[in-house]
Amino acid sequence: MDDNYQTYLNRVARMTLPEAYGIQVQHIQESSKFQPTPDRERQAVPFPGYTVITPPWEDETENSAFYTQLQGYQQELLQLPVGCDLIVPVPAASFHLTLADLIWDSAFYDACEKKPEFEQQLRSCFAEIVQQYQQSMTRAVHPVRWQTLGLMVMPRAVGICLVPQDESCYEEIVNFRRAIYQNSNLIALGIEQQYHFTAHITLGYFGEVPPQLDRDRLATMFSQLNQQWLLNSPEFLIHRAELRKFDDMTRYYRGVDWPVLEWGLGSGNINSP
């Protein structure tokens, strides 16, 4: 399902053009993942599941400078004169790159209800995938290098889009995704690929979208902000893929013995804390 290298580059490049923002902002809508409280502040609502991600910033060791700059991007985004309720920021400590969505929300609830041992089976299955993929590494794999392309506007969220340094960096991630989604045991658990890979780090979700919102002006502000960021495009190292659980869109956690794949050491490790 995932694009080849050149198709991916062409697709995401179009998403960060000024005319693309003009189209995208016409379709933004309130995210159901954050709801207003009686005092009108928005809080994350339950939205549980499992995912495969790079370590969140709070657990990161290799990308601290990148995330520090990304936090600055987030603050610039929140300071746009568009109303304080339009963009709900995610905690900077939770910044991460999703490598493979697995299961979430109603599908997760249903799976746990039908199979009380579902979560343990999922973790065991993913450990096998990591082990098999690590054994397929026939050469020393260096950290997989990606970099910021620009602002990405989605129907219910906004973030930063990433592009690979070269084709080998792209293929490394796509091959890993293929190993996950084509695994027969994982498929038997009801998990399947639902989206093309679009590497991005979410900065916030859309909150209240007022009917009188000047969407053309918003698109212009997004475009101008994006041009500023393009002057300084930091590198992002993908060096670990971790199975993580989440209860909502603000925190992603794991057990100390949950499976991990590491790049840069030429080996995978399924029991790394």
Beta bridge partners of 260: 242, 269
Task: Give the three-class secondary structure for 2.
Answer: coil
pLDDT, residue 29, reads 96
Query: Beta 240-248 vs 49-53: how paired, if at all?
Result: antiparallel
| Separation between Cα atoms, residue 178 and residue 115, nearest integer Å | 25
pLDDT, residue 141, reads 62
Taking alpha carbons only, the member of 209, 197, 206 closest to residue 161 is 197
55 contacts 251 by C-beta, under 8 angstroms: no
Domains in the chain and their CATH numbers? 5-37+44-262 (3.90.1140.10)
Distance of CA 73 to the CA centre of its chain: 16
| Tokens matching residue 197 | 């890979």
E-assigned strand segments in the chain: 34-36, 42-44, 49-53, 87-89, 98-104, 144-153, 157-164, 200-206, 235-238, 240-248, 251-253, 260-262
| Separation between Cα atoms, residue 22 and residue 41, nearest integer Å | 28
Taking alpha carbons only, the member of 4, 158, 168, 175 closest to residue 88 is 158
What pLDDT tens digit does each residue of the chain (273 aa) get?
899 999 999 999 999 999 999 999 999 999 999 999 887 789 999 999 999 999 999 999 889 999 999 999 999 999 999 877 899 999 999 999 999 999 999 999 999 999 999 999 999 999 999 999 988 875 556 779 999 999 999 999 999 999 999 999 999 999 999 999 999 999 999 999 999 999 999 999 999 999 999 999 999 999 999 988 766 777 899 999 999 999 999 999 999 999 999 987 444 444 444
Burial environment of residue 106 by CB neighbours within 10 A (0 to 12, 13 to 18, 19 or more): exposed
Taking alpha carbons only, the member of 99, 119, 101 closest to residue 53 is 99
